[in-house]
Amino acid sequence: MSANEKLIHYELSEIENVKIHGRTAGGRSPLALFWTGSAVEFNARGSELWIEIEGDYDQYEPWISILINSAPVGRQMVQKGKSWVCVFRGMNAEVVKNVRIVKDVQAMSGDPSHSLRIHGAKFDGEFLPVEDKPRRIEFIGDSITSGEGAIGAKPEEDWIPMWFSAIDNYAYRTAAALNADYRVLSQSGWGVMTSWDNVPRNNLPDYYEQVCGLLTGEKNAALGAHENHDFAAWQPDVVVVNLGTNDGGAFFNAAWTDPATGRVYKQRLNEDGSFNEEDLNAFEEAARNFLTKLRRNNPQAHIVWAYGMLGIPMMPAIHRAVSEYVRASGDRKVSVFQLPDMTEETVGARWHPGKQAHERAAAELTGYLRGLLDR
């Protein structure tokens, strides 16, 4: 810890001028950050700033990135227990620094102990107000939106938190380009109706109306993850849905048997290798139902189903689902956008889109969303 005698200790709840990014349960003593890209942001005029954080995990540890004036300047694993992290020191005390401490890793549904909490700060200066940006975007997705593989060398194959990035990520980059605040709800391997391995409960729509309902364990329940989300407090201008990749993968993976009931679940292929029509219809119904839920909770937002960074096998079904929803509802603010596919040159770790793939996707999606927002 610094020897700077001018450092003043603040509990986070004592700092009026802190901006919180991402869904939370409202508590700030301490503040739990659940989702990818969740963050605390300050405009800090002073020379030295430390943040007190607390991590926990059994398998999948939290990671954070530190941004100063929108530039990434640090990235690290968060240890178990409380610790102090130096955000900056020795800087010009008269200059205001925009600081963001970002949760780099997705909510870990497979680790009930995984958590990241912000307790407070030590600072020798003044926290100034952080203005809201003029637009808001919500991103809903799977491993792509979680930034899995966006950082790390191409040969990496271990499924570990180190290879997740909330910064080298199309969601972060799109929001930055559009001068928008944003939120992410994402989970690797999950889909609209089923996960890549045919587990039906592993779908994002079932948990959409909770703060972070896909988390398990008493600790996350106590942190408010299972509380109903307050949609009125943060209404997006655009909701981007990047789902379908894992639903498509389920057709090519083994069946899953529910150990509690013995029921077998499988997205089936026909003998000629095409998708089973009954299973495709079930996917399309799940997609339409999700659109209905999204519109109910976000009455004014543009809803864009953006898909394609790992191929487009489900694109015909997505188009049919969206077209049928629009026809039946009369909702004209829903559309489909094809994202650019990953290439051999833009692949990242774990055979997922790398930084270049996310940059290209963000550039194209930004152009499309700008057209919608500027109408």
CATH number at residue 37: 2.60.120.260
Same domain, yes or no: 114 and 147: no
Backbone angles phi, psi at 280, to 5 degrees: -60, -40
**Which pair of tokens denotes residue 15?**
């700092």
The dihedral built from the CA positions of residue 143, 191, 344 and 339, taken in this order, carries a sign that is negative
Same domain, yes or no: 59 and 154: no
Same domain, yes or no: 74 and 158: no
128, 149, 171 — which closes off a domain? 128
pLDDT at 178: 98
pLDDT at 354: 98
Same domain, yes or no: 56 and 141: no
pLDDT at 2: 61
Same domain, yes or no: 63 and 158: no
pLDDT at 126: 98
Chain-centroid distance of CA 326 in Å reads: 26
- CATH number, domain with residue 216: 3.40.50.1110
Whole-structure pTM value? 0.97
From residue 100, give the alpha-carbon distance in Å to each of 19, 21, 44, 74. 9, 10, 10, 11
pLDDT at 81: 97
Computed on alpha carbons and rounded to an integer, the radius of gyration of the chain in Å comes to: 21
The dihedral built from the CA positions of residue 285, 107, 238 and 338, taken in this order, carries a sign that is negative
**Residues facing residue 51 across a β-bridge:** 85, 121
Q: How many domains does the chain have?
A: 2
pLDDT at 78: 98
Same domain, yes or no: 116 and 156: no
Three-point CA angle 195, 312, 141, nearest 5°: 45
Same domain, yes or no: 95 and 233: no
102, 128, 154 — which closes off a domain? 128
- 329 is in which domain, residue-wise? 135-373
Same domain, yes or no: 225 and 122: no
Same domain, yes or no: 260 and 118: no
pLDDT at 3: 62
Chain-centroid distance of CA 212 in Å reads: 11
pLDDT at 261: 97
Three-point CA angle 284, 289, 293, nearest 5°: 145
Q: Which residue has the tokens 């079932």?
A: 206
Cα(198)–Cα(364) distance, integer angstroms: 31
Provide the residue-wise pLDDT of the chain in tens; the chain has 375 residues.
Answer: 566 779 999 999 999 999 999 999 988 989 999 999 999 999 999 999 999 999 999 999 999 999 999 999 999 999 999 999 999 999 999 999 999 999 999 999 999 999 999 999 999 999 999 999 999 999 999 999 999 999 999 999 999 999 999 999 999 999 999 999 999 999 999 999 999 999 999 999 999 999 999 999 999 999 999 999 999 999 999 999 999 999 999 999 999 999 999 999 999 999 999 999 999 999 999 999 999 999 999 999 999 999 999 999 999 999 999 999 999 999 999 999 999 999 999 999 999 999 999 999 999 999 999 999 998
pLDDT at 375: 80
* Three-state DSSP string of the chain: CCCCCCCEEEEHHHCCCCEEECCCCCCCCCEECCCCCCEEEEEEECCEEEEEEEEECCCCCCEEEEEECCEEEEEEECCEEEEEEEEEECCCCCCEEEEEEEECCCCCCCCCCCEEEEEEEEECCEEECCCCCCEEEEEEECCCCCCECCCCCCCCCCCCHHHECCCCCHHHHHHHHCCEEEEEEECCCCECCCCCCCCCCCECHHHCCECCCCCCCHHHHHCCCCCECCHHHCCCCEEEEECCHHHHHHCCCCCEECCCCCCEECCCECCCCCECHHHHHHHHHHHHHHHHHHHHHCCCCEEEEEECECECCCHHHHHHHHHHHHHHHCCCCEEEEECCCCCCCCECHHHCECHHHHHHHHHHHHHHHHHHHCC
**Nearest CA among 157, 208, 149 for reference residue 184:** 208
